[in-house]
Chains A and B, each alone.
Chain A
Amino acid sequence: MESAPLLEAASLTKRYGRVLALDSVTFTVGEGITGLLGPNGAGKSTAIKLFLGLLQPTGGAAQVMGAQPYHDVNARSLIGYMPEHDCLPTSVNASEFLTHMAQVSGLPPAQARTRAADTMRHVGLDEARYRSIGEYSTGMKQRVKLAQAIVHDPRLVLLDEPTAGLDPGGREEMLDLVKRTGRDFGISIVFSSHLMGEVERTCDNIIVLDGGRVTHQESVSSFTRSTDILAVDIDSRHVELVSALASRGIEAEREGNSILVSHEDGQHLPAIQDALIEAQAPLRRMGFRRRMLTEIFRDSPDGSDDAGN
């Protein structure tokens, strides 16, 4: 129906005074779950706010389904937004609040009520619907935040650090919910995070921002595809295996318990087998290395942001 991509940044630039938050970035976002990854201050929130029309671009354009939301407020009818910070009223209940937000998004009252009830069921807020939001736990508030972003059934929802401030359990639940929203509900998602593990497990595509520039843009599966490195995990006798391989003309490198062998077309497999027998190394597993998203930041000091994931 729409030929324009869901989101399109064309030489998008945003400057706050002397700080250049986004430096002429160009990328598109299509269907599915897209991770907007980058260390704090990389320009993720700025990019999201530009697409929502909350900020005016200093240069270039931020387009949502072909329209510019800063100038055309009706372009926001089909997007949802879940901010990183607290954004919920305290004195109303979730049912009342979501019905109101659905109407503010353009839905007539009767449909808004139905959608609010449905959405609460989908995010798992059914039991708490008539309690004041002020009494909710952090995890429940986070669900209300997501619910208000999808209550009007947008085509695309922008989630700014949806797991911020959650404990590990709540974080997993939130990621599950995000995945379900993207896969089962069919709502495309752009989801910003500075935690690579989350993005890797949740997203189909990834856009990496660093210092106001796009450093990578590709699908997560293509990024984490198998490499040509064969990892041979053994429990002991590492040195013996490396020398046994070397005697067969195979270069090997030790990394922890793994012996890494550059491997093309399976040509070395019989030789590796022989070497294992010769070195009497107890084999645990053998398989192709997958690239980790962590490697994206390997060169930059900000790579250490991947705390605990």
Chain B
Amino acid sequence: MASQPAGQLFDIGYQRYDGPRQGRNRARLALFVGGVRHTLGLGRGGRSKILPVLMVLVSVVPAAVILVLAAIGGGIIDRPVELGDYFPINSLLLLIISGILGPTLLIPDRTDNVLSLYLVRPLGMLDYLAARWFAFFLVTSLIVLAGPLILLCGYILLSADAAQELRDNWLDFPKVLLGAAALGAFIASIPLGVAAFAPRRVYAAAFVIGVVLVGPTVVGILTEPIDFDGSSFQQTVERPITEEEIAEADQFIDATRSLPGDAETIINVEFDSGESRQYLMSRNDVEEALEGGNVTTFESDEPKSLLDPEIGKWVIFTDPTGATVFVTDLLFEDVQSNNYRQLVARHPDYYPVAAYLAWVLIPLALMWWRYRRYTA
């Protein structure tokens, strides 16, 4: 070319390529990067960017709101929401969005037959699937990470002595990172596993949303203690009232006699099982109980779930949205107690970890099984 006269336009014709050919590793990398770009809607129309932006907002906005409230509160409550409690706040919504976003990584490649172009390149089906999954996992993990990371940084900056707070809580950073990776892997795997089978994106999204909405509802109804008013779920106990209780009740009646209406007091009751429980009793109830000759009926208003907790502790693992909570709970100690956590606490620690891994790996195995026999 150097021999051609300068300053002249000419058709240089077709030129052979004699640069580097990096084979399979370049192909894998290109699919991975292409997957990340596709997920974020880069290089595509504006509409493709709606879902990723929405997902980032869902991850970040609760953290921002909490921080604003904490700032306004002027440090009255140290950490209004613990880091470990942040993950469950939006994991459901994140899974729904990823259920709509994730299938776009697999389904158009199949329906538009682009897959048949990939498979004649220097790569195999496993390269393709792995690249797609890792790409989606990277995006979901980073998006999930944004919220708790902002929250953690905010808490540190809002504290009276930020440097000291950082020194005391630096371990929260790797924990937040691990938690985000756990939740990210989870919300990446299910949509891709579903997308492997769905003929169209809508079906995949509908299925994921269905699982997200129906799963927790059904599991919740089965395992959540329900307080049916006056239903058969109450247990009763009859026994003499103790001297202390009479004294306490007398004191209570004297103290409340001048008050209008029906005042209430807390009575401690020990059941035969050895379980002790506190009951709220009105003055009338106590008076009646005393008149009844030292014998009274205590109605347990202990709410019971449809399923026995011993069964419920297994059923709880079938709730897809709970799966990551179990894992993030292992990372963060300070979490609020709730029914989920009480049921899971009946298991050794590695049970919830195994349940989580099943939720991540089974969709991947199904995806591989589905694509294994694909021929272009």
Contact = CB atoms under 8 A, between A and B. Distances in A.
Contacts of B17: 107, 111, 115, 152-153
B27 A86 contact: no
Contacts of A87: 112-114, 116-117
Contact of A100 (B23, B24, B30, B376): B30
Contacts of B45: 91, 132
A104 B33 CA distance: 10
A73 B31 CA distance: 15
Contacts of B279: none
Interface stretch (A5-13, A52-60, A242-250): A52-60
B19 A83 contact: no
A101 B122 contact: no
B116 A105 contact: no
B121 A186 contact: no
Interface residues of A, number: 44
Nearest to B15: A118
Contacts, number: 118
B122 A74 contact: yes
A265 interface: no
Given A85-B113, A89-B114, A132-B45, A73 B21 contact: no
A294 to B, nearest CB: 32
A31 to B, nearest CB: 14
B26 interface: yes
A143 to B, nearest CB: 15
B120 A103 contact: no
Contacts of A80: 120
B375 interface: yes
B interface SS class? loop
Interface string B22-53: 11101101110110000000011100100000
A49 B376 contact: yes
A260 interface: no
Nearest to B16: A153
Interface string A83-100: 101111111110010001
Interface of A: 49, 52-55, 73-81, 83, 85-93, 96, 100-101, 103-108, 111, 115, 118, 122, 132, 148, 152-153, 184-186
User: What are the 7 closest A-B residue pairs judged by CB atoms, nearest first?
Assistant: A103-B30, A153-B17, A87-B113, A185-B14, A81-B120, A52-B120, A106-B21
Interface of B: 13-17, 19-24, 26-27, 29-31, 33-34, 43-45, 48, 108-109, 112-114, 116-124, 375-376
23 contacts: A49-B376, A77-B21, A77-B23, A77-B122, A79-B120, A80-B120, A83-B116, A87-B113, A87-B114, A91-B45, A91-B48, A101-B117, A104-B27, A104-B118, A105-B27, A106-B122, A107-B21, A107-B22, A115-B17, A118-B14, A132-B45, A153-B17, A185-B14
